Structures are given as structure tokens and as C-alpha cells.
């Protein structure tokens, strides 16, 4: 999905600063490992990896202003997927996970195979401590778009650090490394690979 500039910011963070996502982990994840930004929401607390959030999240007054604007637009255009996604993105950046989930899920009723919205939704599910659901969604994204590297990257993280399915994580990492050979947007994988392969 094409997002507003602050959502594209995450892509820059991933490659420049490396973004991640915050979630109550079953096991502490080393701070050096971050999840890929889904399609582009925001950043994370420095202590744990996250899948998409902005490090200096906007103030709550600005968030509420943006949400009010989106609600007004939605009142005039009920069920508009673009507006719902935009609202989900605002909630996502504000780390208001349950509200983001509701907005994204309403949007995908209209755009069921939008891989970027689905990847964002997977991020949300990880952040509400439902990694199994996140993995299920990421699997669907990869079926629809096998070269969607953020989904593959995030799948490695969820498998390894959340679900402790290390063999599957190694397999997913191999697929990610293949994608990296032809996709310069994928960040250096050496740190992730050393952790996944040496658990």
C-alpha cells in the first residue's frame, strides 16, 4: 500500500536505523535484532525489537487531530478502505494496537489481499502477543507475494524469537537470503543469521 510520508519513514528507519516492534516476548530478544517494517508504520523502544513503529512518535494532540480528520472523512465515505488504512496507520504509529487491529481488519474486508495492510496487521498481532496469528497472516502474504521481503523477514523473527521454531526459522532465513541477492532494500542479514543459525 502506498502510505503517507511518515509510513515511508519506517522503510528508511529499517535500512538506516533499523526498525523493529515492541511486544511482550516469551523470551528476551537481543536488542540488535529488529523486525522489518511491514509496509511502513513507525518505530520502537530501544530495548526490544519490534515490527514497525516510529521512534519519536507524534504527540497525542497531533494524533488526535489526525484521527478526528480521518473520522470526519470516514463519516462522509463509510467503509472506505483507504481511510480505514490511514486510521490504522495512525493508531499503529501511536502504538494503539487494538484500535489499529480493528481499522486494518475492517479495511481488509474490502481489500483482502493487500499484502502491505496484511503485513501491518501481522505486526499488530505480534504486538498484542498473538504471534501465532501474526505468523498465519505472514504466511498468507508470502503465498500472495513471495517476494514481499518484510513478510519473510518478520516470519523469521516470529518463528525464531516468539515461537522458538528454530528449524523453520532457518528455512525462512534461507528464503530471505535468496531474496536479498536481488533486492538491495533488504538490510544486512549477517547479525540475524548468526543468531538464527547458532541458537
153 vs 177: CA distance, rounded Å: 9
Predicted pLDDT at 158 = 96
Mean pLDDT of 143-148: 96
Superfamily designation of domain 5-197: Tetratricopeptide repeat domain (1.25.40.10)
Mean pLDDT of 162-187: 96
Q: Which residues make Cβ contacts (< 8 Å) with residue 57, sequence separation at least 6?
A: 42, 43, 63, 93, 94, 95
Q: Classify residue 145 by burial, with Cβ atoms within 10 Å: 0-12, 13-18, 19+.
A: middle
Q: What is the number of other CB atoms lying within 10 angstroms of the CB of residue 80?
A: 16
- The pTM is what? 0.73
Predicted pLDDT at 36 = 63
Dihedrals phi, psi of 48, to nearest 5 degrees: -135, 150
* Confidence tier at 119 by pLDDT (50, 70, 90): very high
Q: How many residues does the chain have?
A: 199
107 vs 103: CA distance, rounded Å: 6
pLDDT at 138 over 80: yes
Domains in the chain: boundaries: 5-197
Least confident of 70-74, 166-170, 173-177: 70-74
Amino acid at each position: 500500500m502506498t502510505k503517507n510520508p511518515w509510513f515511508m519513514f519506517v522503510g528508511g528507519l529499517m535500512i538506516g536505523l533499523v526498525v523493529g516492534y515492541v511486544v511482550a516476548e516469551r523470551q528476551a530478544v537481543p536488542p540488535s535484532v529488529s523486525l522489518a517494517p511491514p509496509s511502513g508504520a513507525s518505530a520502537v523502544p530501544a530495548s526490544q525489537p519490534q515490527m514497525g513503529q516510529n521512534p519519536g512518535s507524534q504527540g497525542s494532540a497531533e494524533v488526535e487531530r489526525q484521527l478526528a480528520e480521518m473520522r470526519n472523512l470516514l463519516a462522509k465515505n463509510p467503509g472506505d478502505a483507504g481511510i480505514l488504512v490511514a486510521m490504522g496507520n495512525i493508531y499503529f504509529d501511536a502504538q494503539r494496537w487494538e484500535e489499529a487491529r480493528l481499522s486494518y481488519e475492517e479495511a481488509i474486508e474490502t481489500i483482502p489481499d493487500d499484502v502491505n495492510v496484511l503485513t501491518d496487521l501481522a505486526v499488530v498481532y505480534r504486538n498484542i502477543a498473538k504471534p501465532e496469528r501474526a505468523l498465519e497472516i505472514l504466511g498468507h502474504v508470502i503465498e500472495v507475494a513471495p517476494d514481499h521481503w518484510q513478510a519473510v523477514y518478520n516470519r523469521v523473527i516470529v518463528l525464531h524469537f516468539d515461537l522458538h521454531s528454530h528449524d523453520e526459522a532457518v528455512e525462512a532465513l534461507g528464503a530471505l537470503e535468496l531474496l536479498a541477492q536481488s533486492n538491495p532494500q533488504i538490510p544486512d542479514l549477517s547479525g540475524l543469521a548468526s543468531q538464527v543459525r547458532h541458537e
